[in-house]
């Protein structure tokens, strides 16, 4: 019986998360509040690490995590995980981007209402013993225009809630299609159009080089006088100093921020500014959201550790738990083909191509390409897997091409792996027999059917009588038993290929003796 995957929960998560791990076949330890040194001392025991924001998954921790396969963040932000280093170590990093979507959207709506009716300031003064009724004249949101910067998952929920408040919703989002805008009942506009028309602006976009300070001084100056601005997305989307100036001048009537460029935000130019409302990054802080992200991270991590499903991974293609069983035999085939071409192709490698033909062309190609690279890159590293293989290939300047061909050839499903070398192009092809048994069917233009498994010997020789007897005798005299003998040739009397399966590794001495046989051109021992 195979050993259960072992998971560590190192931050405080809802107890149901541990129960899900156990129900799905994982062993789980719950140890919140560990110091970095304590975590470093035990992390080598675990296949999975479930965290929130407290645990810092640094290069130092990852170096000690010799068995780690996946880090799961219950929530969206992964600033506490060194993703590039994790990728280099072959560790999948996942988050749960949708578990707190409703909660964050509702917080944005709450901020809109707080600004519209100046609730925080009115509350402070009322509780201080005043009755400042005449000082607080609010505005209705009914009939006002809400401008969304970002209309993805959270933005679309805000749009729906705002429409329930009878607001008109416009949106700027380069990825929003016209069809999706119609479906949401919103108007797609450019950024300048949004800034000129919106009575309220809410931001729902990640922080990237393109979105940093998207509401900087220049764009804030383009906004409608009296605008009210809400940011529950990411700090850094708004120039806080410029926003303060706009509040002081009265051009911006109010602003509400749940996120800041520097957090924890112990100070900000906005603090104390009339018309400014703030909360300490509470967008995801509801009981329901914390339960949701805990359950989701447990489900995603256990799917990966138990069945190979990959959901919401930040450093490898998604692969649903439903897809994984169907793709698994293809990935096994792809990894073997990648390993084969990696062991056989010599010279300066410049590119690798992965072609899917027939039924294979209908499948998710990214995991298949990842498996090819994992097999191929083993010539460079003994710790390579599907996660770090693309990074290793990129480091070495290897161009990766993916080709999809829906037509069927001689086989109903086929994966072909080719490499460009300084000696020319080389390719190998394989198929599945019985839907799940990987089988080589072509090697460097020669048709050869073989199972790629264990210890093997690849021999290229002149097609002449007596060779099979000579190679068989050589191995027999060396005490090496032959499991399978697979033959192929380009043409009678031309170049032939022998692919032998043997019961033990082939030593350099045996390789040298085989190379000395009459008619032999190439001898390469293989391991799968």
| SS3 assignment, position 100 | coil
Distance of CA 52 to the CA centre of its chain: 18
Q: Is residue 251 flagged as an active site residue?
A: no
- For residue 403, the cross-strand partners are 355
234 classed as catalytic = yes
Write out the H or E segment, with its range, that includes residue 268: none
Residue from 234, 356, 378, 416 carrying the catalytic annotation? 234
> How many CB atoms sit inside 10 A of residue 226's CB?
12
The catalytic position among 183, 263, 402, 423 is 263
Q: Residue 275: left if φ>0, alpha if ψ -120 to 50, beta else—which one?
A: left
Closest CA to 200 of 277, 286, 284: 277
CA–CA–CA angle 305, 308, 313 (5° rounding): 85
Residues 6+ apart with CB under 8 A from 262: 235
Cis peptide before 264 (omega within 30 of 0): yes
Strand ordering across the sheet containing 495-502: 482-489, 495-502, 455-462, 520-527
Residue 427 to residues 349, 353, 449, Cα–Cα distance (Å): 13, 9, 15
* Torsion sign (Cα): 439, 445, 447, 448: negative
Rounded Cα gap, residues 41 and 43, in angstroms: 6
Are 486 and 417 in contact, with CB atoms under 8 Å apart?
no
CA dist 495 and 446 (Å) reads: 9
Distance CA(186)–CA(176), nearest Å, equals: 11
Write down how long the chain is: 528
Contact between 32 and 55 under an 8 Å Cβ cutoff? The reply is: no
Q: Name the nearest CA neighbour of 82 among 61, 111, 109, 51.
A: 61
Query: What is the CB neighbour count within 10 angstroms for residue 120?
Result: 15
Determine the Cα–Cα distance for residues 283 and 525; give it in Å rounded to an integer.
58
Cβ partners under 8 Å of residue 345, min gap 6: 419, 421, 426
Active-site residue, 356 included: no
* Kind and range of the H or E run holding 293: helix 287-302
The dihedrals phi and psi of 180, each to the nearest 5 degrees, come to -70, -40
> Which residue in 24, 73, 228, 281 is the catalytic one?
281
Q: State the catalytic residues.
A: 234, 263, 281
């Amino acid at each position: 019986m195979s050993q259960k995957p072992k998971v560590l929960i190192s931050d405080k998560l809802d107890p149901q998360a541990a129960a899900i791990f156990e129900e799905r076949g994982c062993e789980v330890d719950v140890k919140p509040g560990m110091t970095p040194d304590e975590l470093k001392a035990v992390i080598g025991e675990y296949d999975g690490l479930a965290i929130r924001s407290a645990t810092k998954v640094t290069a130092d921790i990852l170096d000690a995590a010799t068995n780690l396969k996946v880090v799961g963040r219950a929530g969206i932000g992964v600033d506490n995980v060194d993703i590039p280093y994790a990728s280099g170590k072959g560790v999948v990093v996942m988050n749960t981007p949708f578990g707190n979507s409703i909660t964050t959207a509702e917080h944005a709506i709450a901020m809109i209402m707080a600004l519209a009716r100046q609730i925080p300031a009115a509350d402070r003064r009322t509780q201080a013993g005043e009755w400042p009724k005449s000082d607080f004249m609010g505005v209705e949101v009914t009939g006002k225009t809400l401008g969304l910067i970002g209309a993805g998952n959270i933005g679309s929920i805000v749009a729906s809630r705002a429409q329930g408040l009878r607001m008109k919703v416009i949106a700027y989002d380069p990825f929003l299609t016209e069809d999706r805008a119609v479906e949401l009942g919103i108007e797609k506009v450019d950024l300048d159009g949004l800034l000129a028309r919106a009575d309220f602006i809410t931001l729902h976009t990640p922080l990237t080089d393109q979105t940093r300070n998207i509401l900087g001084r220049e764009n804030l100056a383009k906004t409608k006088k009296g605008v009210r601005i809400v940011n529950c997305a990411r700090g850094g989307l708004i120039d806080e100093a410029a926003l303060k100036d706009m509040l002081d001048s009265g051009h911006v009537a109010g602003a509400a921020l749940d996120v800041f460029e520097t957090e924890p935000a112990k100070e900000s130019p906005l603090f104390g500014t009339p018309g400014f409302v703030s909360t300490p990054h509470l967008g995801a802080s509801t009981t329901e959201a914390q339960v949701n992200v805990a359950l989701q991270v447990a489900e995603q991590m256990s799917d990966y550790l138990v069945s190979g499903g990959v959901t919401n991974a930040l450093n490898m293609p998604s692969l649903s738990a439903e897809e994984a069983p169907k793709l698994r035999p293809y990935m096994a085939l792809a990894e073997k083909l990648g390993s084969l071409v990696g062991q056989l192709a010599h010279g300066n490698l410049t590119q690798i191509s992965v072609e899917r033909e027939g039924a294979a062309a209908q499948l998710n190609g990214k995991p298949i390409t990842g498996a090819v690279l994992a097999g191929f890159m083993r010539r460079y590293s003994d710790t390579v897997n599907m996660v770090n293989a693309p990074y290793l290939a990129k480091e070495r300047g290897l161009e990766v091409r993916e080709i999809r061909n829906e037509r069927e050839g001689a086989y109903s499903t086929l994966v072909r792996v080719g490499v460009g070398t300084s000696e020319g192009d080389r390719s190998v092809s394989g198929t599945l027999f019985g839907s799940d048994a990987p089988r080589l069917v072509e090697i460097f233009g020669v048709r050869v059917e073989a199972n790629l498994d264990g210890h093997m010997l690849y021999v290229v020789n002149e097609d002449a009588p007596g060779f099979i007897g000579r190679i068989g005798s050589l191995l027999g005299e060396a005490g090496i038993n032959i499991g399978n003998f697979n033959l192929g040739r380009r043409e009678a009397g031309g170049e032939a290929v022998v692919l032998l399966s043997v019961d033990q590794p082939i030593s350099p001495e045996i390789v040298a003796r085989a190379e000395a046989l009459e008619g032999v051109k190439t001898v390469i021992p293989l391991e799968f």
